């Protein structure tokens, strides 16, 4: 998990560096906004999957 976090951090740094330095804080704000939206998507997807698995467990289905 730590290696994945380091890799994502590296990709975010590369994305920020691709912008022109005359743009000020916009590159960093843009990368942070995109990262936040991706995290929200992962959260909502995970919540949906957890709810589906919990419902299956109550119905007597095997949960791995």
- Whether the pLDDT of residue 61 is over 70: the answer is no
Integer Cα distance of 39 and 43 in angstroms? 6
Can you state the percent helix, strand and coil of the chain, rounding each to 5?
Answer: 85, 0, 15
Q: How far apart are alpha carbons 20 and 49 in whole angstroms?
A: 40
Confidence of residue 40 (pLDDT cuts 50, 70, 90): very high
Alpha carbons 64 and 58: distance in angstroms, whole number:
14
20 versus 3: which is more confidently predicted?
3
Q: What is the pLDDT of residues 15-39, one digit of tens each?
A: 999 988 888 999 999 999 999 999 9
pTM above 0.75, yes or no: no
């Amino acid at each position: 998990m730590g290696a994945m976090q380091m890799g994502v951090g590296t990709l975010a740094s590369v994305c920020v560096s691709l912008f022109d330095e005359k743009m000020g804080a916009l590159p960093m704000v843009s990368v942070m906004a995109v990262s936040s939206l991706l995290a929200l998507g992962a959260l909502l997807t995970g919540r949906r999957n957890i709810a589906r698995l919990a419902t299956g467990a109550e119905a007597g289905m095997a949960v791995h």
